[in-house]
């Protein structure tokens, strides 16, 4: 794990566009956990391997992931039993946006039903 984190840290401190593109390609798999039938186990394995507790991401507007209108997206989408949180409000689609503060009391979160 420390080797991977060190390599990513070095890459991010550099200015090689091709290296950044390669990293983004490897880590930008749309719906990698959300659409997987064993998404909770898959997320647990990913987080365990890299020493994380929760994966917070964007890249897929919540409205596209849930089928709701962008204007109705008022909070992050939590899935995989809370291990993953999508914070893409879809602002470019007309969503109002929100501020995500992990661990805040009364934190509004859209919860996706557990599958599998």
pLDDT over 70, % of the chain: 78
What does pTM read for this prediction?
Answer: 0.69
Burial of 45 (0-12, 13-18, 19+ CB in 10 A): exposed
Across 27-31, 74-78, 98-102, 107-111, the highest mean pLDDT is recorded for 74-78
The answer to whether residue 61 sits within a structural domain is yes
The answer to whether residue 38 sits within a structural domain is yes
Q: What angle do CA 108, 111, 113 make, to 5 degrees?
A: 165
The answer to whether residue 18 sits within a structural domain is no
Separation of alpha carbons 56 and 77, rounded Å: 10
The answer to whether residue 83 sits within a structural domain is yes
Domain count, the chain: 1
The distance of Cα 53 from the centroid of its chain, to the nearest Å, equals: 12
The answer to whether residue 24 sits within a structural domain is no
The answer to whether residue 116 sits within a structural domain is no
Range of the domain at 56: 31-111
Q: Pairing between strand 84-86 and 77-79? A: antiparallel
The answer to whether residue 52 sits within a structural domain is yes
pLDDT at site 32: 66
C-alpha radius of gyration, the chain, whole number: 15
The answer to whether residue 12 sits within a structural domain is no
């Amino acid at each position: 794990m420390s080797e991977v984190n060190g390599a990513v840290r070095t890459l991010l401190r550099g200015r090689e566009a091709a290296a950044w593109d390669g990293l983004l390609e490897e880590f930008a798999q749309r719906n990698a956990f959300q659409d997987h039938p064993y998404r909770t186990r898959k997320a647990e394995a990913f987080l365990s391997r890299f020493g994380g507790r929760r994966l917070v991401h964007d890249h897929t507007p919540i409205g596209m992931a849930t089928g709701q209108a962008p204007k109705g997206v008022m909070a992050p989408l939590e899935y995989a039993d809370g291990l993953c949180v999508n914070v893409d409000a879809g602002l470019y689609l007309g969503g109002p946006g929100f501020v995500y503060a992990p661990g805040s009391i009364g934190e509004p979160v859209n919860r996706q039903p557990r599958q599998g």
